[in-house]
C-alpha cells in the first residue's frame, strides 16, 4: 500500500526534523541568514490545493486555499526570480488523508507527525495510489528544490544531526546528513582541518543538502567539487531500501562508484542520510587582498598570472563589478570600501592559504607589485589583520543581501567560459536599459557568474526581456544555466539548454529505475515530459 511504502521510507530515515511547510525559501535572499530548527522526529503534511502552485486557475469559483496559493506564487517569483513554471499535479499521486496520517503516527509516534492545518481531509484511501515526498534540509536553495509544489510529504532531516566519527589522522569526517555546515566547520577546525566547501549560507544549510545539490562555494578553486571530496554515502531509496556506501576509503576501484549518482541529484534518486567527506588540513597562513582593475580583460589576465605566480597557495579568486560595490556600500551594514577613491570598473578579491606566513605574504606582495607594473592592477590593499580581511569578505558575500534590499531581484547562476563570462552582463544592460540595474560578480576562478538583475518591482515585461534570452545566450556559449545552485523546480524544464536530449533521456531512465513511481522530489530536476 502507498502509505506503508511511504511510512517504511520515513521510518528508515530515522529522526526527522520540523521544517516549515511554507512554499519557498524561509529566509530573505541573503544566503547566510540563520534560522533555528527543532530536532524532534516529525514529518509534515501539506493539504492539497487541487491547483498548480503557480499555474492558471479555472473560472467558476475559488477553491479552498486559493488565497494562500496565490501568495505562495508571489513568494516563488520574489524568491527565485525566474519565470514560474506551470506544472499540473500528477494525478497518479495519492492525496494524503486521515488514514495515512494515522498510519504514520503509529510508526513515528504522535509527536512525530506535524500537520499545517487542524483538520485532516476525510476521503477514501486509494490503496493503489502513491504518496510523494520532498527531502528538506536547511531550505537555503535558490531554485525551489526543497519545497513542496502540492501536497507532498516533507521529509525534514534537521533531526539527523549527529557526528558519527572524525579521523584526525586522515581528516575524514563521518556524520548524519542534517548537520549544519557551520557546525561541522567549527568541529573540524578545532581538530586542525577545514571543510572542503564554504558557503554564505553555512549557518543554515545542511551537509546532506550540500551534497545533494553538489554545492560549489568559495573554496572550489582550491579543493574542487564535492565529487572529489565525498568518500561515501548512506542513501535511502524510494522503496525504503538503505543503500550503504558509507566507506571512508580514499581508494576503492570495485565496480561502479554509485555515490556519484546521488551527488547533485537533488533528492530525486534517493535521500542522503549519512556522509563521509575528506577534509583538508587547516593551514596557518591566510592572506586576503582587495584589488581594482580598469577592465574585464585585466581581470582575466590577473587570474592567469595568479595561477602561475601564487600556484599552490591560491585559495580564492572572486570578482565584482563597480555596480556590486556601490550596492554593497549602500545596503550592507558595517562594511567600508578599502579603496574609497578608486573610480575603477572591476574589483578582485584574492585569498591565499599556506603553511609559511612570511613566505606566503612575500609571495603575494611580489605578485601584486608585478601585476601593478604590468598594468593589470590599478590599486589594491592587503589585509593587515582579521578585521580588514573580514571586511573584504563581507563586501563580497553581502552583494546578494544588498540586492534584495533594493526590491525585486532576478538571480541567475551561470557557468560560462571565462573569456566570455562578462559579455552577458553587458548584453543584458543593453537589453534592459534604465529599467533595471544589472550586477555581475562571482567565482572567476571557476568560470561561475552570478548575474543579478535588480529592479524596484517585479514586472512581466522585464522578465520577458531576460528570459529565455539569458538561457539561449548561455547555451550558445556551451555554458551551464546552473553552475552551482542546481535545477530544482525553477529550472527543471530548462535543462535542455545545458544537456542534450540523449543525456536527458538517460537521466530519466536512471530516475525510472531507482524511483519507478517518481515519488522522490517530484516536479524537480527533470522535465515532466520525459518521466
- Whether 169 has a pLDDT exceeding 90, the answer reads yes
Contacts of 113 (CB under 8 A, 6+ apart): 42, 43, 45, 101, 104, 105
**Phi first, then psi: what are they for 64, rounded to 5°?**
-65, 130
CA gap 292, 287 in Å, rounded: 17
User: What confidence tier does 298 reach under pLDDT thresholds 50, 70, 90?
Assistant: very high
- Whether 320 has a pLDDT exceeding 60, the answer reads yes
- Whether 57 has a pLDDT exceeding 50, the answer reads no
163-278 belongs to which CATH class? Answer: alpha beta
Q: What CA–CA distances, in Å, run from 473 to 251, 275, 468, 477?
A: 40, 37, 9, 7
Query: Per residue in 337-346, pLDDT tens?
Result: 899 766 789 9
Query: Per residue in 142-159, pLDDT tens?
Result: 899 998 988 888 888 988
Contacts of 268 (CB under 8 A, 6+ apart): 511, 515, 520, 521, 524, 525, 526
Residue 156: what pLDDT?
A: 87
Query: Per residue in 420-435, pLDDT tens?
Result: 999 999 999 999 999 9
**Helix axis angle, 399-406 to 322-331, nearest 10°:** 70
CB atoms within 10 A of CB 67: 9
- What is the mean pLDDT of the segment spanning 19-30? 35
User: CB of 163 within 8 A of CB of 279?
Assistant: no
Q: Output DSSP code: residue 272.
A: E
Query: Where do the structural domains in the chain lie, given as residue ranges?
Result: 96-156, 163-278, 285-477
Residue 29: what pLDDT?
A: 36
- Whether 392 has a pLDDT exceeding 90, the answer reads yes
Beta bridge partners of 350: 289, 317
- Whether 10 has a pLDDT exceeding 70, the answer reads no
DSSP states of 51-110: S-SSS---SSS--TTHHHHHHHHHHHHHHH-SPPP-----TTBPPP-HHHHHHHHHHH-G
Pairing of strands 43-45, 113-115: parallel
Read off the C-alpha cell for 260. 556519484
The 8 Å CB, 24+ separation contacts for 470-475 are 470/412, 470/414, 470/424, 470/428, 471/497, 472/497, 473/424, 473/427, 474/414, 474/416, 474/424, 474/498
Could you give the 3-state DSSP secondary structure of residue 441?
strand
Query: Per residue in 184-213, pLDDT tens?
Result: 999 999 999 999 999 878 999 999 999 999
Query: Per residue in 82-123, pLDDT tens?
Result: 555 577 888 888 777 777 778 777 777 777 666 554 332 322
User: By CB neighbour count within 10 A (0-12 exposed, 13-18 middle, 19+ buried), where does 427 fall?
Assistant: middle
Which strands form 408-415's sheet, in the order they lie side by side? 379-382, 285-293, 346-354, 314-321, 437-443, 448-455, 408-415
Mean pLDDT of the chain: 82
User: What confidence tier does 81 reach under pLDDT thresholds 50, 70, 90?
Assistant: low
Read off the C-alpha cell for 233. 554515502
Max mean pLDDT among 53-67, 72-86, 101-115, 269-283 falls in: 269-283
Residue 188 belongs to what H/E stretch?
A: helix 181-190
CA gap 224, 212 in Å, rounded: 16
Residue 88: what pLDDT?
A: 82
Could you tell me what percentage of the chain is helix, strand and coil, using 3-state DSSP and rounding each to the nearest 5? Answer: 35, 20, 45
Residue 82: what pLDDT?
A: 58
CATH-assigned architecture of domain 285-477:
2-Layer Sandwich (3.30)
Amino acid at each position: 500500500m502507498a502509505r506503508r511504502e511511504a511510512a517504511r521510507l520515513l521510518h528508515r530515515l530515522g529522526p526527522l526534523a520540523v521544517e516549515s511547510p511554507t512554499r519557498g525559501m524561509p529566509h530573505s535572499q541573503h544566503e547566510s541568514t540563520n534560522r533555528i530548527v527543532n530536532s524532534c522526529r516529525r514529518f509534515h503534511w501539506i493539504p492539497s490545493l487541487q491547483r498548480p502552485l503557480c499555474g492558471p486557475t479555472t473560472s467558476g469559483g475559488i477553491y479552498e486555499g486559493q488565497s494562500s496559493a496565490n501568495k505562495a506564487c508571489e513568494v516563488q517569483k520574489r524568491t527565485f526570480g525566474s519565470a514560474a513554471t506551470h506544472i499540473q499535479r500528477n494525478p497518479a499521486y495519492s492525496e494524503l488523508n486521515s488514514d495515512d496520517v494515522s498510519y504514520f503516527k503509529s510508526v513515528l509516534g504522535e509527536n512525530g507527525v506535524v500537520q499545517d492545518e487542524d483538520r485532516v481531509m476525510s476521503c477514501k484511501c486509494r490503496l493503489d495510489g502513491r504518496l510523494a515526498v520532498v527531502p528538506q534540509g536547511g531550505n537555503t536553495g535558490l531554485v525551489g528544490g526543497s519545497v513542496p509544489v502540492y501536497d507532498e510529504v516533507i521529509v525534514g532531516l534537521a533531526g539527523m544531526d549527529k557526528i558519527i566519527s572524525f579521523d584526525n589522522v586522515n581528516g575524514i569526517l563521518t556524520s548524519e546528513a542534517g548537520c549544519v555546515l557551520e557546525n561541522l566547520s567549527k568541529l573540524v577546525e578545532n581538530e586542525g582541518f577545514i571543510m572542503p566547501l564554504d558557503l554564505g549560507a553555512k549557518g543554515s544549510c545542511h551537509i546532506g543538502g550540500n551534497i545533494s545539490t553538489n554545492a560549489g562555494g568559495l573554496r572550489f578553486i582550491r579543493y574542487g567539487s564535492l565529487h572529489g571530496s565525498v568518500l561515501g554515502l548512506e542513501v535511502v531509496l524510494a522503496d525504503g531500501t538503505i543503500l550503504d556506501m558509507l566507506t571512508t576509503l580514499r581508494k576503492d576501484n570495485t565496480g561502479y562508484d554509485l555515490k556519484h549518482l546521488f551527488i547533485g541529484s537533488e533528492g530525486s534518486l534517493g535521500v542522503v542520510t549519512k556522509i563521509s567527506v575528506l577534509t583538508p588540513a587547516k593551514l596557518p597562513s591566510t592572506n586576503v587582498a582587495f584589488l581594482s582593475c580598469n577592465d574585464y580583460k585585466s581581470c582575466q589576465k590577473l587570474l592567469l598570472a595568479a595561477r602561475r605566480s601564487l600556484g599552490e597557495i591560491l585559495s580564492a579568486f572572486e570578482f565584482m563589478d563597480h555596480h556590486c560595490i556601490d550596492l554593497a556600500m549602500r545596503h550592507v551594514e558595517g562594511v567600508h570600501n578599502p579603496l574609497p577613491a578608486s573610480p575603477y570598473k572591476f574589483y578582485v578579491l584574492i585569498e591565499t592559504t599556506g603553511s609559511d606566513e612570511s613566505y606566503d605574504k612575500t609571495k603575494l606582495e611580489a605578485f601584486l607589485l608585478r601585476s601593478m607594473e604590468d598594468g593589470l592592477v590599478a590599486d589594491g590593499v592587503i589585509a593587515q589583520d582579521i578585521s580588514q580581511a573580514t571586511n573584504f569578505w563581507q563586501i563580497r558575500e553581502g552583494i546578494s543581501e544588498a540586492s534584495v534590499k533594493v526590491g525585486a531581484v532576478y538571480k541567475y547562476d551561470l557557468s560560462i567560459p571565462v573569456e566570455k563570462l562578462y559579455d552577458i552582463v553587458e548584453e543584458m544592460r543593453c537589453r534592459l536599459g534604465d529599467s533595471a540595474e544589472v550586477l555581475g560578480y562571482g567565482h572567476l576562478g571557476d568560470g561561475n557568474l552570478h548575474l543579478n538583475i535588480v529592479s524596484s518591482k517585479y514586472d512581466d515585461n522585464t522578465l520577458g526581456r531576460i528570459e529565455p534570452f539569458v538561457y539561449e545566450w548561455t547555451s550558445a556559449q556551451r555554458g551551464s544555466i546552473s553552475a552551482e545552485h542546481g535545477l530544482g523546480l525553477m529550472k527543471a524544464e530548462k535543462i535542455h539548454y545545458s544537456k542534450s536530449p540523449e543525456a536527458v533521456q538517460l537521466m530519466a531512465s536512471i530516475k525510472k529505475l531507482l524511483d519507478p513511481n517518481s515519488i522522490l522530489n517530484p516536479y524537480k530536476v527533470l522535465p515532466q515530459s520525459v518521466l
